Chains A and B, each alone.
Chain A
Amino acid sequence: MNALEPVLNDPPATTPHTELRRGAVAALPVLLGFIPFALVLGAQASQQQLTAGAVALMTGLNFGGGSELAAIELWTSPPAILVIVAMTLLINSRHLLMGATLAPCLSHLPLPKALGALFFMCDESWAMGLADARQRGGFSLCYFMGVSLSLWITWVTFTSLGTQIGPLLGDLRSYGFDMAFAAVFLVLLKGLWKGVHAALPWLFSLFTAALFYLLIPGGWYVLAGTVAGLVTAYLWAKP
């Protein structure tokens, strides 16, 4: 391509700063689900005698809500280290696939930068980053980091805050805040929708995950559902 030719695909005047802010603003609706969930998690952790500092350390270094909720439910004194770590690995195994789908978006970056960005990858920031890339014709690392950092800061702040004020709030889940996650995920799914044919693997994923959730205890359902969906996509892709 001629270097002087204007690049029409590029949105006008994006700087790292505006992209970070665009991501942080896009993440605001997601916080409606994050904050109550974080407070509940903190409150449950305090019932297991975990301090605010320990909770901040866990949620800051691990940053995976599902695995942290499972860890706190499994927590004993002293904690069963191997059981908790194995459950964490199982619940977060979906990240392997998520990271793989980001490979084309991040492979042009210096390796430390890509590995740093991946530390902050969660379900929401990953799906929003990919949806944004699809919409605007290119992956914006700063947008992705804007979403990720605002979620990370909120998560760490409100989980540790939850250890202090969570017990006063009662069970926030009974008010309907838990449906915020389903709502976020469903809107993200709509953004990925490319017709019934392309969505067939989702149906197999949903069906298998639901079946595993009902029949097999533990955190196997996400992995099982995802694998079932991908096998469907693989068979579907054959000419």
Chain B
Amino acid sequence: MIDVATLVTIVGMAVVTYLTRALGFLLLRNRPLGPQLTQVLNAAPGCVLIAVIAPKFVSGHPADLIALGLTVYAAARFSLLPVVVFAIVVTGLLRVLLPA
């Protein structure tokens, strides 16, 4: 059985997370977007994605930084599956060759 404090924490997390998912949509749903807001929203996906992986750029581990650089290079040229496999293999190999 799950205890009450655990259940309350999980439900609390679920509620605030769902609010973040729904509120942005609800606020802009019936609003015509001006050109400036459109431009800001067009930039949003890239800004979110790069911010999420920013820690990888400053990890300070040579193996990880080289692997990241090679992954950036691969991502610019190839499609999703080969890039993901390449990233995993290269990172694993470099961590063996250049232990932190």
Given A192-B46, A201-B46, A209-B51: A233 touches B39 (CB 8 Å cut-off):
yes
Chain A residues whose CB sits within 8 angstroms of the CB of B35 once the complex forms: 237
Chain B residues whose CB sits within 8 angstroms of the CB of A62 once the complex forms: 10, 13-14, 17
Given A92-B20, A99-B24, A190-B76: A123 touches B46 (CB 8 Å cut-off):
no
Chain B residues whose CB sits within 8 angstroms of the CB of A106 once the complex forms: 25, 29
> What distance in Å separates the Cβ of A32 from its nearest Cβ neighbour in chain B?
5
**Does the CB pair B33–A104 fall under 8 Å?**
yes
| Chain B residue nearest to A32 in the complex (CB) | B84
**Does the CB pair B17–A185 fall under 8 Å?**
no
Interface readout for B71-95 with A: 1 if CB under 8 Å, 0 if not? 1101110011101111111111111
In chain A, positions 164-190 with a C-beta closer than 8 Å to chain B are: 174-190
A85: CB under 8 A from chain B? yes
A71: CB under 8 A from chain B? yes
B98: CB under 8 A from chain A? no
**Does the CB pair B20–A96 fall under 8 Å?**
yes
Stretch touching chain B among A7-15, A16-24, A151-159, A224-232: A224-232
Interface size on B, residues (CB 8 A): 74
Chain A residues whose CB sits within 8 angstroms of the CB of B94 once the complex forms: 176
The docked-state distance in angstroms from the alpha carbon of A63 to that of B16 is 12
The docked-state distance in angstroms from the alpha carbon of A29 to that of B79 is 10
Chain B residues whose CB sits within 8 angstroms of the CB of A181 once the complex forms: 53
**Does the CB pair A32–B88 fall under 8 Å?**
yes
In chain A, positions 74-111 with a C-beta closer than 8 Å to chain B are: 78-79, 81, 84-85, 88-89, 92-104, 106-107
Interface readout for B39-78 with A: 1 if CB under 8 Å, 0 if not? 1111111111111111111100000100110011011100
Chain B residues whose CB sits within 8 angstroms of the CB of A139 once the complex forms: none
| Chain A residue nearest to B4 in the complex (CB) | A78
Chain B residues whose CB sits within 8 angstroms of the CB of A101 once the complex forms: 24, 41-42, 44-45
**Does the CB pair B51–A225 fall under 8 Å?**
yes
Given A61-B10, A213-B58, A230-B43: A222 touches B48 (CB 8 Å cut-off):
yes
**Does the CB pair A186–B21 fall under 8 Å?**
no
**Does the CB pair B21–A121 fall under 8 Å?**
yes
**Does the CB pair B21–A221 fall under 8 Å?**
no
> What distance in Å separates the Cβ of B73 from its nearest Cβ neighbour in chain A?
10
**Does the CB pair B84–A85 fall under 8 Å?**
no
Chain A residues whose CB sits within 8 angstroms of the CB of B24 once the complex forms: 95-101, 103
A-B contact pairs, 24 of them (CB 8 A): A29-B80, A57-B10, A58-B14, A67-B13, A67-B17, A68-B13, A71-B13, A79-B6, A85-B9, A92-B20, A98-B45, A99-B23, A99-B26, A100-B25, A100-B27, A101-B45, A126-B45, A176-B67, A176-B88, A176-B94, A183-B83, A221-B54, A229-B44, A230-B40
On A, residues with C-beta under 8 Å from B are: 26, 28-30, 32-33, 50-51, 53-54, 57-58, 61-64, 66-68, 71, 78-79, 81, 84-85, 88-89, 92-104, 106-107, 114-115, 118-119, 121, 123, 126-127, 130, 174-190, 192, 198-199, 201-202, 205-206, 208-210, 213-214, 221-226, 228-230, 232-234, 236-238
